[in-house]
Amino acid sequence: MGTLEPARKSSPEDQLFVFDKNPDTTVKFVKEPESSPIKTIPVTAVSTPLEAVSESDVVLTVLPGPQHVKDFFATLITDLPVTEGIDERLFIDCSTIDPATSRSVASLVHSKGKGKFVDAPMSGGVVGATAGSLTFMLDCPSFAQDVVEARVVPVLEKLGRKIWRLGGQGAGLSGKLANNYLLAICNIATAEAFNLGIKWGLDPKVLADVVNSSSGRNCCSENNNPLPQISLGAPANRDYEGGFAISLMKKDLKLAIAAAEEAGAQLELADRAEQVYTATEDEYKDKDLSVIYRYLQDQNRKFQTKTVREV
Enumerate the active-site residues. 176
Angle between helices 171-199 and 246-263 (to 10 degrees): 120
Residue 283 near residue 182, CB atoms below 8 Å: no
Distance CA 43, CA 303 (A): 53
Q: Largest alpha-carbon pair distance within the chain?
A: 80
The 3-state DSSP class for residue 191 equals helix
Q: How far apart are alpha carbons 105 and 118 in whole angstroms?
A: 10
Spell out the SS3 assignment of 41-66: CCEEECCCHHHHHHCCCEEEECCCCH
Alpha-carbon distances of 294 from 55, 219, 255, 306, rounded to whole Å? 45, 18, 25, 19
Instruction: Give Cα 208 to chain centroid, integer Å.
Output: 25
CB neighbourhood size of 295 (10 A): 23
CA distance 271 to 250: 11
- Indicate the Cα dihedral angle 237, 239, 242, 248, nearest 10°: 120
Are 282 and 292 spatial neighbours (Cβ–Cβ below 8 Å)? no
Q: Pairing between strand 122-123 and 134-139? A: antiparallel
- CB count within 10 Å of CB 136 equals 29
